Amino acid sequence: MKNIKLGLGIALIALGFASCKDEKQEKAQKTVDSYVTYVDSVKNVAAADLKENWKTVEAEYDRKSQEAQAALADLKDNSAATEKINASKIKYEEFRNQMATQFAPPAPSPKQQLRDALFGAGKIGDDMNFDWVNAKNIHSVYQQFVHTVEDNKDKYSREDWDEVKLMYEALDSRKNTVEKEGLTSEDNRKIAGLKIKFAPMYTVNRMGAKSEENKEAKK
């Protein structure tokens, strides 16, 4: 009798282990399937909604990806599940790259690129606000401006030179204000030297650019 009870006990324990094992595998498979489903579902979301919630999307993807990878250890034969995970991983990476391109800010216009080169990225926009130029930094602003023009004088078109002149005159206008706000005589002298350097460089190269365009037009 004792042997029968003992045998039944062992059988129940074994059945319990088997049941737990099956549940573990079933849960692992669901975890893998949940990851695959998530990747497929994200691709169907409108780009505008994705852009607004992209950080959340990425965080959820990372969580599900890690869980799916860990679940493979609980599957007796995980070859099929591994293939599914790898396929979804590739699919998501391709999708992520597409979104990165789509979400990227538009390239600045040629005019804005020129302004960024002359003053620094984002310093001068369409409002042409020079309030950030003050007595302490105006000499370095002139330096960057004149040296940038000098480095690119052979590349500028006539339209570029017109933009350069517009920006130069705006900077000069700001200098008139800054002079009353504590501009040192030393910086003023250095700026005067840069202005002397710029004037003939502008005149000669602006004329050269116009001449080149006239030649091209005749062709």
* In a shared domain, residues 114 and 214: yes
Per-residue pLDDT of the chain (219 residues; tens, 9 = 90+): 444 444 444 444 444 444 556 788 888 888 989 989 999 999 888 888 888 888 999 999 999 999 999 988 888 888 898 999 999 999 999 999 988 888 888 888 999 999 999 999 999 999 999 999 999 999 999 999 999 999 999 999 999 999 999 999 999 999 999 998 889 999 999 999 999 999 999 999 998 776 565 555 555
Number of domains into which the chain is organized: 2
**Domain boundary residue, one of 79, 103, 127:** 103
- pTM: predicted TM-score of the whole model, two decimal places: 0.58
DSSP string over the chain: -HHHHHHHHHHHHHHHHHHHHHHHHHHHHHHHHHHHHHHHHHTTS-HHHHHHTHHHHHHHHHHHHHHHHHHGGG-SS-HHHHHHHHHHHHHHHHHHHHHHHHHSPPPPPHHHHHHHHHH-TTTS-TT---TT--TTTHHHHHHHHHHHHHHHTTT--HHHHHHHHHHHHHHHHHHHHHGGGT--HHHHHHHHHHHHHHHHHHHHHHHHHHHHHHHHHH-
* In a shared domain, residues 212 and 123: yes
